[in-house]
Structure 1
């Protein structure tokens, strides 16, 4: 199984909203990712804890059977629509993919 983790630092203001407002909007919009083919699970949160060592307002974690499943997810039109929403308000993006036995 492959785990895919992405975290975003948002612009302080974008599309007439604060970073906090946009973070919640992204969490709400992430519902569109549930049930996509090749996605075993997906979680998105803007409840970043103060113990975190990265500057991020939103984090996504998804699970896929294999790298082919992750690629299919990345190319899926619904994921691309979600990614466009993120890009509109995002200042930076970090990602980490790893295999789980």
Structure 2
């Protein structure tokens, strides 16, 4: 990948994940990520951002560093800030996974 990727483009991130997983469609990628198809549609149409929970899920499944996922997305922020709802969902997800490992 080109190191000079700076333009925000969620298609680049989603297409890279589809290629990595050999997912034939966005619907197949949705099933892998555990999200509704409408979520990816909203992201592709730039009506919704890639939230922290989804970014973590992409990292877990792909093995790619979050920094690389953000680079593909074109996210140039130095810190990845989350809203209260994202933070709450992320903590619930972490707690649920921890309890599943006990």
TM over 0.5: no
TM-score, scaled to structure 1: 0.36
- By relative contact order (CA 8 Å, sep 6+), the higher-ranking structure is 1
TM-score of the aligned structures, taking structure 2 as reference length: 0.36
Which structure shows the bigger proportion of residues in strand conformation? 1
Higher helix share: 2
